[in-house]
Amino acid sequence: YSFSPDTEPSEVVTAMLDRFVEVYDQDYLKRTKEMGKTVDEIVIMASIVELETKLVEDKANAASVFYNRIAANMPLQSDITVDYARGEKTAVLTTEQTQFPSPYNTYINTGLPYGPICSFGETSLEAALYPADTNYLYFVADMNSGKIYFNETYEEHLQDVEKYMGN
């Protein structure tokens, strides 16, 4: 989007909603229904995928992780939802920060957060609608490249955390 500094906030919202209606077409609505989801759930998932991933090729796997965790009744444990709740970006959350009380905190609440945490691109929306078919439950991003490494087991995840985050 490109707006001049004197654009009214209502004009920005209208432009964004118009674009959403244009993009979220009948095929996407059909897919949403096939998945047994609501548009709200897809939008929330797309917003999480948008901020959790830097690379397009990681988006469908990231969505898969979150859907798999929901199916297993596991908390999503998405750092960016805590950042959103706290109102500040943190490179690596502390244990104390993961306990921040908020309906957006996916460390202390299961399922999706209360609402979307950002505006998202169409690639994140597509990942939310067409997640990869995996058994992944964990991921960690390489702090330098932004590439995400996905794992099925917690043990594998811990090895990748040590390797890519230097803990």
Q: Which residues pair with 148 in a beta bridge?
A: 141
Q: Average pLDDT, stretch 31-50? A: 98
Q: What is the pTM of this model?
A: 0.90
User: What does the pLDDT read at residue 144?
Assistant: 85
Q: Is 150 exposed, middle or buried (0-12, 13-18, 19+ CB in 10 A)?
A: buried
Query: Do 90 and 79 contact (CB within 8 A), yes or no?
Result: yes
Q: pLDDT for 123-160, tens place per residue? A: 999 999 999 999 999 999 998 888 999 999 999 999 99
Dist. CA 78–CA 25, nearest whole Å:
28
User: What does the pLDDT read at residue 85?
Assistant: 97
Q: For the chain, which residues make up each domain, given as ranges?
A: 9-165
